[in-house]
Amino acid sequence: MKILLNNQMLYEAIGSLNSIGFVPTMGGIHKGHISLINKSKKNCKKTLVSIFINPKQFNNKNDFKKYPSNINKDLYLLKKTNKVDFVYIPEFKDIYKSKRKSEITIKKKDKILCAKFRKGHFEGVLDVMDKLTKLIKPNQIFMGEKDYQQLYLVKRFIEKKYKTKIITCKTIRAKNKYALSSRNFLLNKIKLNKAGKIAKLLINFKRNLIKKENIQQILSSKKLEIKKKYDVKIEYLEARREKDLSITNNIKKSRIFIAYYLDKVRLIDNF
């Protein structure tokens, strides 16, 4: 496993390769990331993992400062897989020429879910994915359904501009059903238990929606129930179609999306 600390090292290592699987991360490596690496290893000759906490996608300075980072532990976990050929850990200047905001914009109709609550977030995500794709020229990029809206927007953007394919990977959950996430490192056991209970509740809730119509009303009362029962602040709880994220009244080929705060930690999930 070669560690590439700048673009010179990156070019020298991967310049002549033609089957690269790319797993972009912000570090805080967990089994969700590892599942993406496993899929890359199956599909591609070489696997490159990046660790870059992209400041341009944080709409909140504190969130950026607090973002869990432990590079030595990450490198240990990546090496242990025996499946990673390269870890690219760029500095800001390897990715960006200036600190200015992203010039990429997203359409009004896409300003839903997280895009509505985190101004500039996806513009920052698309910008960094554009830069990384240009630098690495991967055949495939592996991304998780855990961040479904990100996957949807990045897939549309990257596949239109490059030959690179975005490969969708299932959400990996803990035993008690909360989705694995780097942000979970900021939560204690009691809080994670609560996240597990909310996840279980929503998994069952979705099952029970199958025969129902006009689910928007049912969602509103479920939102209130979760708020009261678990004392969490919910940003959104919505049902949307998988193919275009439009609002739906029928749960078929749709997902339930949630964003909520456990203490000051913002979690997202979908079912």
Q: Give the active site residues.
A: 33
Show contacts with ligand AMP in window 10-29 (CB under 6 A): 25-26
Centre a 10 Å sphere on the Cβ of residue 270 and count the other Cβ atoms it contains: 22
Q: Which residue is nearest to ligand AMP (CB)?
A: 144
Closest to ligand AMP by CB, 29 or 215: 29
Angle at Cα 119 formed by Cα 69 and Cα 103, nearest 5°?
A: 90
Least distance CB 33 / ligand AMP (angstroms): 5
Count residues contacting ligand AMP (CB under 6 A)?
17
C-alpha distances in Å from residue 246, one per residue of 28, 111, 252: 32, 11, 13
Min dist. Cβ of residue 146 to ligand AMP (A)? 4
Out of 143, 209, 215, 267, the only residue in the binding site for ligand AMP (CB under 6 A) is 143
Would you say 219 or 242 has its CB closer to ligand AMP? 242
Which of 95, 113, 180, 259 binds ligand AMP (CB under 6 A)? It is 180
Minimal distance, residue 148 CB to ligand AMP, in Å? 8
255 near ligand AMP, judged by CB under 6 A: no
Backbone angles phi, psi at 185, to 5 degrees: -65, -15
Identify whether the C-beta of residue 22 lies closer than 8 Å to the C-beta of residue 43.
no
Nearest distance in Å: CB 215, ligand AMP = 25
Residue 120, Ramachandran bin (φ over 0: left; ψ between -120 and 50: alpha; else beta): left
Site string for ligand AMP, 22-61 (x = CB under 6 A): ---xx-----xx-xx-------------------------
**Of 88-96, 160-168, 172-180, 201-209, which segment contacts ligand AMP by CB under 6 A?**
172-180
Candidates 147, 166, 240, 267: give the one binding ligand AMP (CB under 6 A). 147
- Candidates 250, 230, 231; CA nearest to 240 is 250
Written as six digits, the tokens of 142 are 């592996």
- Answer yes or no whether residue 138 interacts with ligand AMP by CB under 6 A: no
Q: Which is nearer to ligand AMP, 166 or 237 (CB)?
A: 166
Task: Show the CA angle centred on residue 241, arms to residues 156 and 236, nearest 5°.
Answer: 100
Residue closer to ligand AMP by CB (options 169, 195) is: 169
Binding footprint of ligand AMP on the chain (CB under 6 A): 25-26, 32-33, 35-36, 143-144, 146-147, 169, 171-172, 179-182
